[in-house]
Amino acid sequence: MSETLEPRLYPWQQAIWQHLLAAHKAERLPHALLFTGAEGLGKSRLATTFAQALLCGALSDTGQPCGACRGCHLFQVGNHPDYRRIEPEEKGKAIKIDTIRAFVDKGALMAQAGGYKVIVIEPADAMNSAAANSLLKTLEEPVPWTIIILVTSRPGRLPATIRSRCQRITCPVPPRKQAIQWLASQVEEGDPALFLAMGSGAPLLAKQLAVPGLLQERAGMVDEFHAALNGREDPVTIAGRWDKLELPRVLNWMSGWLIDMLRLKFGKQPPTLYNPDQLQRLQAMAQVLDFKVLYGMLDRVYEANRTLGSQLNSLMTLESILLAWANSKKITTRA
Ligand SMILES: [Zn+2]
């Protein structure tokens, strides 16, 4: 079921919801809001639920959309005349100027049902510069009762001129206890605390990791990573196996292992780790490498992550990272 059809807030969003609601009730809402926060905190759902609340004719006692009025009904079936959702035509592609223009010319911005008109743009950082410029003109000359909501986990990629015209709403990271409690209600097996650590404290990322078999797969990869470092296994062979997995996940895991090794080297006892279940292996690797080498490897992985999608060949990316990794013990020894 899509986010649009199931608007429910997550438990850690109550406080920020009350804040938004108070501004709505007092008619103090700005013309543009920027919903930010790390991946996996549910900012998309927060934005969508808020959009529905603005169009709902009878908010519930808790201030959530009633789900029963005409506005909610039209919203839920994806057919509300005063709600528009702008996203890339294809995942990972840019939002183009024509798409923005179609929604932001003056006529299209006027509400039809006599209330708010709400436009959600997600991910807002997918707008190319022409599209962003077109939006900027609208933000400079706001239309009364029209609210534009930008959603992104990478606000730094938006032009400063756009950011400065939006009120920023940061989706909070839930307290650990609350996140674990929620996760426990969502996952069937495994340790919610471990999943949460692997998901950097973001419950929705953690939930994605709670897939049967995924932990074993990751443990096997840590094994191979260790084997490549010790010269027990050929890095190119390992790259060939990892190339069959999803590259973003492989890169994400590698950066997690490297960060954990750095944390272990800093020696704060006991450090908080992304991979607490792999402590011994990570410690063994951290011991034989120096800081400089680990930072260098982390840079490589970040760089590969930054250019995701533009790489012609994921196998070559993995090979170059793993070859450098297999060589890092020698560099440490030499230094
Ligand atoms: Zn309603």
Q: What is the CATH number of the domain that holds 82?
A: 3.40.50.300
| Side-chain half-sphere CA neighbours of 120 within 13 A | 22
Cα–ligand 1 centroid distance for 65 (angstroms): 5
Cα–ligand 1 centroid distance for 61 (angstroms): 12
User: Do 64 and 38 fall within a single domain?
Assistant: yes
CA distance 243 to 262: 26
Q: What does the pLDDT read at residue 333? A: 67
Residue range 80-86: mean pLDDT, rounded: 93
Cα–ligand 1 centroid distance for 200 (angstroms): 35
3-state secondary structure of 299: helix
- The DSSP output letter for 38 is -
User: Do 147 and 34 fall within a single domain?
Assistant: yes
Q: What does the pLDDT read at residue 7? A: 45
User: Do 129 and 266 fall within a single domain?
Assistant: no
pLDDT digits (tens, 9 = 90+) for 202-241: 999 999 888 888 888 999 999 999 999 999 999 999 999 9
- Residues 301, 321 contacting (CB under 8 angstroms): yes
- Residues 148, 32 contacting (CB under 8 angstroms): yes
User: Do 294 and 310 fall within a single domain?
Assistant: yes
CA distance 56 to 67: 8
User: Do 221 and 202 fall within a single domain?
Assistant: no
Q: What is the CATH number of the domain that holds 221?
A: 1.20.272.10
Task: Report whether pLDDT(52) > 90.
Answer: yes
User: Do 194 and 101 fall within a single domain?
Assistant: no
Cα–ligand 1 centroid distance for 83 (angstroms): 14
Domain end residue (candidates: 112, 137, 170):
170
Q: What is the separation, in whole angstroms, between the first and last Cα of the chain?
A: 55
Tokens of 184: 């426990």
Domain end residue (candidates: 156, 187, 211):
211
Amino acid at 330: K
What is the pLDDT confidence band of residue 104, given thresholds at 50, 70 and 90?
Answer: confident
- Looking at every residue in the chain, the average pLDDT score rounds to 89
Provide the whole-model pTM: 0.78
Cα–ligand 1 centroid distance for 66 (angstroms): 4
User: Do 21 and 156 fall within a single domain?
Assistant: yes
pLDDT digits (tens, 9 = 90+) for 141-154: 888 899 999 999 98
What is the pLDDT confidence band of residue 312, given thresholds at 50, 70 and 90?
Answer: low
User: Do 146 and 189 fall within a single domain?
Assistant: no
| Tokens 């009350």 belong to residue | 18
User: Do 129 and 255 fall within a single domain?
Assistant: no
Cα–ligand 1 centroid distance for 58 (angstroms): 5
Cα–ligand 1 centroid distance for 196 (angstroms): 34
Q: What does the pLDDT read at residue 4? A: 41
Residue range 272-297: mean pLDDT, rounded: 93
Domain end residue (candidates: 145, 170, 195):
170
Cα–ligand 1 centroid distance for 49 (angstroms): 11
- Residues 282, 264 contacting (CB under 8 angstroms): yes
**Structural domains counted in the chain:** 3
pLDDT digits (tens, 9 = 90+) for 183-203: 999 988 889 999 998 888 999
User: Do 226 and 319 fall within a single domain?
Assistant: yes
Task: Report whether pLDDT(1) > 60.
Answer: no
Cα–ligand 1 centroid distance for 70 (angstroms): 7
Domain boundaries, position 298:
213-334
Tokens of 40: 């996996």
Q: What does the pLDDT read at residue 3? A: 40
User: Do 121 and 224 fall within a single domain?
Assistant: no
| CA trace torsion 156, 158, 160, 165 (10° rounding) | -120
User: Do 40 and 95 fall within a single domain?
Assistant: yes
Comparing CA positions, the residue from 213, 297, 239, 200 lying closest to residue 305 is 297
**Residue 184: Cβ within 10 Å count:** 12
